[in-house]
A and B are shown apart, each in its own frame.
Chain A
């Protein structure tokens, strides 16, 4: 039996816990606490350590789904979680004040995993904030010489989470 892991990271409130819950076989184990950084996001509870879900494959292999805490003060954990991961899903809340800068933070902190494996970026909350447009995210990636897929998604929709995963798998297969 082998174990693998996929990392979901991104800003607080972008939908990491929801995305994992949409595909996990087991109820997501979350270490939620009352949000002590209401200036970052208004939600009441937030993940302070990690979210954890599992996918049990037919042959007994397990894919572990980890959601990192979204608050920047927990960035020391991101590298620990990322070690040995198959790939990375970055979720960015478009309605936050500086979503492009948010993305830069995660690109920097997960640069190793992105270079070794790959990543896909999902932009959420585009219904609340129409800008920045996807083109602006692509421009940012071009400036950083990264060619990663960026999609507008709703983390509450399983189909959107699946297209993110399909995109990640296709990207990783092409890179192999």
Chain B
């Protein structure tokens, strides 16, 4: 049963954000009254149902920990993940664009309207702040959980307010989209989801076998988009990885960052920071790609003993790199971003 939110008042607060960021949020939240039926107002952190914090700020970090220990609160983290990342609901990257604020708001709203949970005085779904429950609410968490289980798990469906139901078969390694794949690619993957068992007699199962997409396509898309420029909690930033197979790129547009990172990882084991150092691809893009690779098991972990910090490039390799750059320049690959 959905909890109606129409006409309710909600208070939010921010800690550690810049004046400009706070103003930006204050500008966008009240403007969403008509769309979501919630009247938003700014308050201090003690009264807030929703707290948006920058955990790089000492006050923000301290409050993030205490805020989520109280029931019925929603914590949104800006910047780095909190000390205990399982307690932060979502991490949003800077810069704080209007689109990002709206997405943040959509995330909060979906928690307010989650089915099957009794509302607190702030109408926040009680399970939204706890580790045990929140680990199952997002598509990324459901899929991550699925992958840690035996692949004999029977087929099940995943539903959300934001996209038509998916039917997933871990055994067949396939997924059937309730809408088209193209449509699903643009869905809000941060919305809470529910998982339902399905019967063997479900008429969609034969369709799944015939028309299902490889599950890896879904995993790649969700892995790629869920971190928003940050490593997901299951990707250790100190860990070195090596590619064990190239991803089949059906889900994200082929681009320069993808090609460079995968090429590097196909030849070298590297930590996220090393990949950025060696390829020049930004930290955020590397994080998104690694998240997807880890979720899809396209990379393997390499122990410290097996991994060597890259040495300085030789003259021959610099010469080769120079030649390729001249060809890139000639073909307009550097200036026009034809391949970027």
Contacts and interface: CB of A to CB of B under 8 A. Distances in A.
Are A and B interaction partners? yes
Contacts of A151: 249, 254
A165 B333 contact: yes
A149 B259 contact: yes
Contact of A142 (B245, B250, B327): B245
B41 to A, nearest CB: 49
Contact of B324 (A133, A138, A173): A173
A133 B328 CA distance: 30
Contact of A148 (B246, B260, B317): B246
B327 A162 contact: no
A55 B328 contact: no
Contacts of A156: none
A174 B268 contact: yes
Contacts of A150: 246, 248
Contacts of B262: 149
Given A58-B330, A162-B333, A135 B260 contact: no
A127 interface: no
Given A163-B254, A172-B324, A176-B313, A57 B330 contact: yes
B248 A133 contact: yes
B250 A166 contact: no
Given A159-B338, A171-B266, A147 B245 contact: yes
A176 B320 contact: yes
Chain A contact residues: over half helix, strand or loop, or mixed?
Answer: helix
Give the one of A55, A86, A175 with max B CB within 10 A.
A175
A135 B214 contact: yes
Contacts of B320: 172-173, 176
B6 interface: no
B317 A134 contact: no
B259 A4 contact: no
Contacts of A158: 338
Nearest to A121: B246
B316 interface: yes
Interface in A52-87: 55-59, 61, 63, 86
A176 B320 CA distance: 8
A142 B246 CA distance: 10
Contact of B327 (A63, A135, A138): A63
Contacts of A165: 327, 331, 333, 339
A134 B251 CA distance: 12
A4 B324 CA distance: 11
Contacts of B245: 138, 141-142, 147
Contact of A173 (B244, B254, B317, B326): B317
Given A148-B246, A176-B317, A169 B330 contact: no
Contacts of A142: 245
A128 to B, nearest CB: 17
Interface string A135-148: 10010011000011
A21 to B, nearest CB: 13
Contacts of A172: 320, 324
Nearest to B254: A163
A17 interface: no
B256 interface: yes
A122 to B, nearest CB: 11
Contacts of B268: 174
B326 A58 contact: yes
Interface string B29-60: 00000000000000000000000000000000
Contacts of B256: 166
A163 B262 CA distance: 13
A65 to B, nearest CB: 11
B133 interface: no
B321 interface: yes
23 contacts: A23-B331, A56-B330, A57-B330, A59-B326, A133-B214, A134-B250, A135-B214, A138-B248, A142-B245, A147-B244, A147-B246, A149-B246, A149-B263, A151-B254, A159-B338, A162-B339, A165-B333, A166-B328, A167-B259, A169-B328, A173-B324, A174-B268, A176-B321
Given A147-B245, A147-B246, A173-B320, 17 more contacts: A4-B323, A56-B330, A57-B330, A59-B326, A134-B248, A149-B266, A159-B339, A163-B259, A166-B259, A167-B259, A169-B327, A172-B324, A173-B263, A174-B266, A174-B267, A174-B268, A176-B316
Interface of A: 4, 23, 55-59, 61, 63, 86, 133-135, 138, 141-142, 147-151, 158-159, 162-163, 165-167, 169-176
